[in-house]
A and B are shown apart, each in its own frame.
Chain A
């Protein structure tokens, strides 16, 4: 009896010890930063925990790459400088690949891609802006023609955009001369101002706009005008990494590709965005 007990304890210790060394020795620790204010990509839920498409996808990618991952929240406007300062190792925050960002950091292959455009109040005259889909990479001329047709309607209007985004760069390039552009720290803040009537429209990703429209704040809002993608609006959303961490890039690239190939990204995207946001190669 006594011996049996001792044997049990000994084997338990052995098993636990093995499991512990197994986990710590082989799994590389990777810290991933996200904004936590960009539903449904990433947001803080009612329990105060990070949740969203990227949290679920991130866990899946880490499982495939055999990383021991931890998500941390970081304000959007400091998210690249803090990566450079090694506060974490990767960014998954609805961040688009752009040539400007590529000068500073590296990106994996894109894990999602979607259109960008305007969100307005249903009662606004801007609700009648003509629709359409334009790609700035494939047919810049057609996209710019559509933009020029929007300009008279947006004359003297106030547009809200999140700072440090491709949306802001795009809005400033094409609409600065006709409209007033206000910068916000988060998309939640410009949504509140659109609801309050301080803004005539917001400029952002359709995916985030749709998520807002499902909340109480956004119940009187709608997406108006054409959807734009590619070019300066970004070459898809990807994991941001430091340039020197080539090994992380290889591991995440493989994980993203396998998640695209086996339909995991399509499944998660339909769960969170209600549409398939898998990048089309």
Chain B
């Protein structure tokens, strides 16, 4: 099977093109079409599973075509490729994307305003996200990365809530800032890196795999590891890592660059919130794992305590914010920030356990946050009111909904049996093991993260107590007859997510078979490149 990844990426793009030809009144057609797109992607995903060997640590399903190659005279040749491939990390992310996109598609059925525009943008977003997770060429990655931005901006800005303009502009500004920082490093990298095949004329390449090999840096170039340029008291590599880190961490997001997220979530329509939390945040973490760390392992090691600190700060600070949140969706948004902090902590440890835990957390948080935002959507669809204090005793009024709220909340606070526990367990194990193995980060970070676990329980249980326990009561403006239990569509989405979360909580090896070789490779490569850089 050739070009499976391309099929996966271009199915939604093709759908978007065809969608332009369908008249805007045919709402039902669009709703069916989006299911078809997801179904096709699902089939391709199964084909991908069939055509990959998880135990192999290397990239698989690679597709490599020349994109352009410009001869720039003395300076050499600038070469960009259409280069795709996945390893355990990429596989986990595209699997997550396909799953979440399916759920988001079903959830999008309630959209009634300008259906045509909505679905076309959704498909563009779909293709761009999966493209980002597959691209192995920095320019291609950057292209997909930027391509996600516009549909998201419009999806929040047009289909969002009352303050949608503010939220979408804020989202755009933050993300643009991140993009610019990444672009700076992209340019510096392409100046500094030559393809190994270059002979007399230097071939400057965007190939990420070449960039990750310290042997390919041109001696004396700005980012060269052997002959480092100093900017201030630090090497240019250090600064480049920092720029990439900030650029990707905005997307993650981590404190203090997170404030766009709660606003974007609160204003975004339910399916867009689902995609935002489940997939877009992962792009940030993915960028760190795929680009920032492998290319600048020396700087990453130097800054690992900073990374861990920001991770732990996010865990605790965002959890406190969640505790103070009055809007259910804002609470869930902050819990997202808190949980993504674990990704940073695991990554900072640079142990196999920590890195595998970070990837597992990305996957698991994708599923759990999707479920949480669907839950917020269920309530909002009925009453257009998400204020926690306006409800009480919903458990007796909506018993089936209550069951799923329990599952989602307890999964998110890390109850064993659900996938989140496995991820947090591995991250904490990695963070603690780091102290006695590679001595990068102190055990204190793991202890601090434990406070995050306690706070996580606190805000969820407090929400349960306020909204679901006690005698049934709602604020006057809300009409009680609107509060009906789940319909079939909502039940279907929630039960499938719940089952998947449960499966990955009880049988983690299903996914760990893919993640383990990646994490092992990742940790080994970084250790190896540090050794090479230190004693060339």
A and B interact: no
